[in-house]
Structures are given as structure tokens and as C-alpha cells.
Amino acid sequence: MKPQRLLFLASGRGSNFQAIARAVKEKRIPHAQIVGLISNRKEAGAVSIAKELGVPTHTLEKSAFRGSDGKWDRAAFEITLEKTIESYQPDWICLAGYMLLLGERIVERWEGKILNIHPSLLPKFKGLHAQKQALEAGERVTGCTVHLVTQEMDEGQIVEQASLEILSSDTDESLSARLLTLEHETYIRALIRLTGS
């Protein structure tokens, strides 16, 4: 069976990418290979991790796409992003802390093949600071979700979910740290299933 080509899009720390890369290396996702990582921030931790692992990286910063009015030329950015994605010929596009919304063309072109991980039990607590949102809502249980990406933020078919008890002593930091470990396991489990391993 031909290994499925995973392409990552990340903007930050890169812990999900790192955990998945380790799992791929250890053949825990036996039918997958990582073909590249694209970031919109060249100083992102994810980029350094990818370089250390010998994973090809590509950086596309918003600041390089300014229109004549000085504003971000989103259309030009998206066209270049789409071409860059195509150049990696991915089977799956894995968003892992990618902080920009993908444009309509890319979402349509790769429909059903773009995954995202979100630190809540979707459809609850979409958007930023989902861990804090769960704490502030007084939830007793939260979790994380791997889902297919659609045009709407944190929507799309749920692929894998895992839940976690919120402790009365939890702070945003302690809860986020426990959730992050769960995110890594959950994303790996989703990929094992989706790549047919």
C-alpha cells in the first residue's frame, strides 16, 4: 500500500506536528509519510521542529502579500498557498495550530481531505481559547476534536473526539496542558484510521 502523503499547515509551537511526526517515524501510523510543513510564520516552533526532522518547509507570510493599498492581499496569498499545497501532492492536509482561515477555493479543491484539531468537544466552544471557554462555562468535562475542515471555522464532520474531566483545581494552563497530550493521541488515532492503517 502506497503511503499516504501528509502535509501540515501550522502557525505556532508545533507540538501536534511533532507528536505525529514521531508516530510516523515509529511506524505507529504505518501507512503515512510526512511530505512537508507550510507555515505563515517563519519563526514558528513548528518550522524549527520540521527543519530538525528534515521535513521540507515552506513559509508564506502575510506581509509578503500586500496590495497597493498596503493591506493584506488575501486572494494573492491564497493563490500562492494553493500552488504550494499542490506542489506537495498531499493526500491529507493536516492543520495543526494553523491560525488563518483557509480560502474557499482551497477548501473546495481539497474537500474531505483537510483535517483540523480543536481543543474542545465540538460543536461546543468554537474559536479561540476553547479551554478557557469550557472552564468559564463551568463544564465538568471537555475534550478535543479532529474534524474535516469546511468554510466555517471549527465546523465540519467530526472524525475523532476524546474527552477529559475538568478538575476543580484546574486553571487554563493545567487544563490546556492535559488537553494537549490528549490532542496528540487523538490526532494520531484519527490519522491511523484515515490512512487505512
Residue 13 binds ligand GRF, judged by CB under 6 A: yes
Residue 194 DSSP SS3: helix
Is residue 31 annotated as part of the catalytic site, yes or no?
no
Q: How many CB atoms lie within 10 A of CB 25?
A: 11
Exactly one of 118, 129, 147, 184 is catalytic; name it.
118
Residue 192 DSSP class? H
Binds ligand GRF by CB under 6 A, chosen from 6, 9, 15, 147: 15
Residues of span 98-157 touching ligand GRF by CB under 6 A: 117-119
Cβ proximity of 137 and 166 under 8 Å: no
Q: What angle do CA 94, 97, 105 make, to 5 degrees?
A: 55
Find the residue with minimal CB distance to ligand GRF: 97
Residue 6 DSSP SS3: strand
The least distance separating ligand GRF from the CB of residue 2, rounded to whole angstroms, comes to: 27
Q: What angle do CA 58, 52, 36 make, to 5 degrees?
A: 35
**Which span sits near ligand GRF by CB under 6 A: 10-18, 61-69, 106-114, 132-140?**
10-18
Sheet strands (E) in 18-56:
32-39
Residue 36 binds ligand GRF, judged by CB under 6 A: no
Residue 93 binds ligand GRF, judged by CB under 6 A: no
Footprint on this chain of ligand GRF (rule: CB under 6 A): 10, 12-16, 96-97, 117-119, 180, 183
Active site residues: 118
